[in-house]
């Protein structure tokens, strides 16, 4: 898909709605994003994260590492550094309650395999595209000329899948904010970072990620063939995606050093998840 977020979550959000508490939403969502991490280098050929063997040998362990990092380091810090009015709306819904490792592994695999299967039908060099002539059949689209079916599927699913995923996400957030008072999450609301620490926690990673991301622009301008090969929507979609990945890395680093900052400024500890 031109942008790895939302469209690739279309297959996993319905599971989170249907089997709430029985599936790991964080593992499903992380798994559905992980294969595209290999595209952070625009000119690279990939590391196998979209292949069948890569789902088990690369995507699964990578997703589980990210899941543990998210649960142990990022989530407690985000809760401490989010104003109480926003916690129940935006942070607590993405908490990752612990399930058995088999179930979390299955969710991680479902996410990454659904991603690889969609791409295998949407990419020109995808497995299904190469093996099913129907996906390579040209369709005449007015001024756009002849476009293969796989490309039409690519953009159609990006739009329709994203719209469907957005509806599901809205539903998930609505359900999460209706969580009964007294649930385990309410215990986390007792600790709040000072305004200075809270502001630094969010602003510093945004500034750092923006500066790091700006390095990509000369890189893209130096490879104009990417526009013709993939199209501007695709290229800038991945620029935005890489920007979000840089932000996630910067937030993780900020979360790792937060306990020290909070202890120094308030004397309180970051709550355990």
Binding site for Zn ion (CB under 5 A): 35-36, 119
Q: Are 28 and 12 in contact (CB under 8 A)?
A: yes
Nearest distance, CB of residue 70 and Zn ion, angstroms: 20
* Cβ neighbours around 258 below 10 Å, total: 23
Q: Pick the closer one to Zn ion by CB: 152 or 173.
A: 152
Nearest distance, CB of residue 15 and Zn ion, angstroms: 19
Closest CA to 122 of 35, 37, 40: 35
Q: Pick the closer one to Zn ion by CB: 99 or 130.
A: 130
Nearest distance, CB of residue 35 and Zn ion, angstroms: 5
Q: Pick the closer one to Zn ion by CB: 3 or 164.
A: 3
Token pair of 179 as six digits: 């969580």
Kindly write down the DSSP assignment for every residue of the chain, as one continuous string: --SSSSGGGTTTHHHHHHTTTTS-HHHHHHHHHGGGGGGGSTT----STTSHHHIIIIIHHHHHHHHHHIIIIIHHHHHHTS-HHHIIIIIGGG------HHHHHHHHHHHHHHHHHHHHHHSTTSHHHHH-HHHH-EEE-GGG-EEEHHHHHHHHHHHHHHHHHHHHHHHHHHHHHTPPTTSGGGGGGG----HHHHHHHHHHHHHHHHHHHHTHHHHHHT-THHHHHH-HHHHHHHHHHHHHHHHHHHHHHHHHHHHHHHHHHHSPPPPP-
Q: Pick the closer one to Zn ion by CB: 66 or 75.
A: 66
Nearest distance, CB of residue 252 and Zn ion, angstroms: 22
Nearest distance, CB of residue 228 and Zn ion, angstroms: 20
Q: Pick the closer one to Zn ion by CB: 76 or 126.
A: 126
Q: Pick the closer one to Zn ion by CB: 104 or 119.
A: 119
Q: Pick the closer one to Zn ion by CB: 148 or 271.
A: 148
Nearest distance, CB of residue 49 and Zn ion, angstroms: 8
Nearest distance, CB of residue 133 and Zn ion, angstroms: 23
């Amino acid at each position: 898909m031109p942008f790895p977020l939302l469209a690739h979550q279309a297959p996993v959000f319905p599971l989170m709605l249907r089997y709430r508490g029985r599936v790991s939403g964080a593992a499903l969502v992380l798994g559905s994003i992980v294969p595209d991490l290999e595209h952070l280098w625009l000119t690279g050929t990939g590391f196998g994260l979209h292949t069948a063997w890569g789902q088990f040998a690369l995507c699964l362990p990578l997703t589980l590492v990210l899941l543990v990092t998210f649960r142990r380091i990022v989530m407690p810090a985000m809760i401490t550094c989010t104003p109480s009015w926003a916690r129940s709306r935006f942070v607590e819904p993405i908490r990752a309650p612990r399930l058995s490792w088999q179930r979390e592994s299955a969710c991680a695999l479902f996410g990454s395999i659904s991603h690889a299967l969609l791409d295998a039908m949407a990419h020109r060099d995808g497995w299904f595209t190469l093996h099913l002539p129907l996906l390579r059949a040209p369709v005449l689209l007015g001024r756009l000329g002849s476009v293969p079916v796989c490309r039409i599927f690519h953009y159609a699913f990006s739009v329709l899948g994203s719209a469907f995923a957005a509806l599901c996400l809205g539903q998930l957030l609505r359900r999460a904010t209706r969580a009964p008072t007294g649930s385990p999450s309410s215990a986390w609301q007792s600790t709040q970072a000072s305004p200075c620490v809270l502001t630094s926690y969010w602003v510093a990673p945004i500034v750092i990620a923006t500066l790091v991301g700006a390095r990509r622009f000369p890189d893209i301008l130096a490879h104009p063939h990417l526009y013709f090969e993939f199209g501007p929507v695709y290229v800038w979609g991945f620029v935005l995606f890489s920007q979000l990945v840089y932000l996630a890395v910067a937030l993780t680093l900020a979360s790792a050093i937060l306990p020290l900052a909070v202890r120094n400024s308030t004397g309180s500890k970051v709550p355990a998840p």
